[in-house]
């Protein structure tokens, strides 16, 4: 059994994926422990969820800092102090600073509510994604967990699940079915990362052959 990974989850909103990760770790024997929840918004309901589980929280609101460098510096310091191995973005609405990406190469994952590389990139977040899926006429959407790189929503895919689009779907009904899938997908992705189970080659990932 690998040593437990120390995980930080970055959030901005309601935190249902944070909750799924907390529950998934407890239920599925994932060798990980969420030791820090970071939000850029003090009003995030996700912070309340974290507190209710006794998880340390930190708010880093860019407006409270004297420029982006100071913001990045403070954020990096806090993450380093907590001795973090892995970062999960769960509805975090800010683009991560390059310095943070460089400090955690292939150690930051994100969940996105579509089948990437479709319906990803700049401006594709929240209901914009589901509206764009419906407008395109696509018959399938889904959820993706990927490794975060400089390319927005463009890093190697850890895992994915398909959600069929129904004829009567509205952006709201599609969002809800995708969200239900996200909640089982994210713990699965965290398990793969926490167990160092993936080999990454370019944009492709595969589960390593075990030798034991
Ligand atoms: C999810 O749909 C996720 O895919 C996207 O932001 C939303 C966050 O929801 N990145 P929640 O805060 O986890 O409930």
Question: Domain locations in the chain?
Answer: 1-104, 110-212
- The best mutation among 9, 11, 15, 16 to test binding of ligand 1, ranked by most ligand atoms within 8 Å of the C-beta, falls on 16
What per-residue confidence (pLDDT) applies to 209? 77
Q: Is 15 in the pocket of ligand 1 (CB under 6 A)?
A: yes
The per-residue pLDDT for range 30-84, each reduced to its tens digit, is 999 999 999 999 999 999 999 999 999 999 998 999 999 999 999 999 999 999 9
Q: Is 130 in the pocket of ligand 1 (CB under 6 A)?
A: no
Q: Is 85 in the pocket of ligand 1 (CB under 6 A)?
A: no
The per-residue pLDDT for range 106-133, each reduced to its tens digit, is 999 999 999 999 999 999 999 999 999 9
| Stretch 158-168: mean pLDDT | 98
How long is the chain?
Answer: 212
Q: Which residues are catalytic?
A: 112
What per-residue confidence (pLDDT) applies to 141? 98
HEC sequence for the chain = CCCCEEEEEEECCCCHHHHHHHHHHHHHCCCEEEEEEEECCCCCHHHHHHHHCCCEEEECCHHHCCCHHHHHHHHHHHHHHCCCCEEEECCCCCCCCHHHHHHCCCCEEEEECCCCCCCCCCCCCCHHHHHHHHHHCCCEEEEEEEECCCCCCCCCEEEEEEEECCCCCCHHHHHHHHHHHHHHHHHHHHHHHHCCCEEEECCEEEECCCCC
Centre of ligand 1 from the C-alpha of residue 1, in Å: 30
Residue 207 has pLDDT above 60, yes or no: yes
CATH class of 1-104: alpha beta
Average pLDDT, the chain: 96
What per-residue confidence (pLDDT) applies to 1? 56
pTM score: 0.96
Which fold does the domain 110-212 belong to in CATH?
Rossmann fold (3.40.50)
């Amino acid at each position: 059994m690998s040593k437990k990974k120390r995980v930080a989850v970055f959030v901005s909103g309601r935190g249902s994926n944070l909750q799924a990760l907390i529950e998934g770790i407890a239920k599925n024997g994932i060798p990980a422990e969420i030791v820090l929840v970071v939000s850029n918004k003090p009003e995030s309901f996700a912070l309340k969820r974290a507190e209710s589980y006794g998880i340390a929280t930190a708010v880093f609101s860019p407006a409270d800092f004297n420029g982006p460098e100071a913001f990045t510096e403070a954020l990096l310091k806090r993450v380093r102090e907590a001795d973090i191995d892995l970062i999960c973005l769960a509805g975090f609405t800010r683009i991560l600073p390059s310095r943070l990406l460089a400090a955690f190469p292939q150690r930051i994952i994100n969940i996105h509510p579509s089948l990437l590389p479709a319906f990803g990139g700049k401006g594709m977040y929240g209901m914009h994604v589901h509206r764009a899926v419906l407008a395109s006429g696509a018959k399938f959407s889904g959820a993706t967990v990927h490794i975060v790189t400089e390319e927005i929503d463009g890093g190697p895919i850890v895992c994915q699940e398909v959600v069929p689009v129904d004829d009567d779907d509205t952006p709201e009904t599609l969002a809800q079915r995708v969200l239900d899938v996200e909640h089982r997908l994210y713990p699965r992705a965290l398990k793969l990362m926490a167990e160092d189970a993936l080999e990454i080659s370019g944009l492709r990932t595969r589960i390593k052959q075990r030798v034991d």
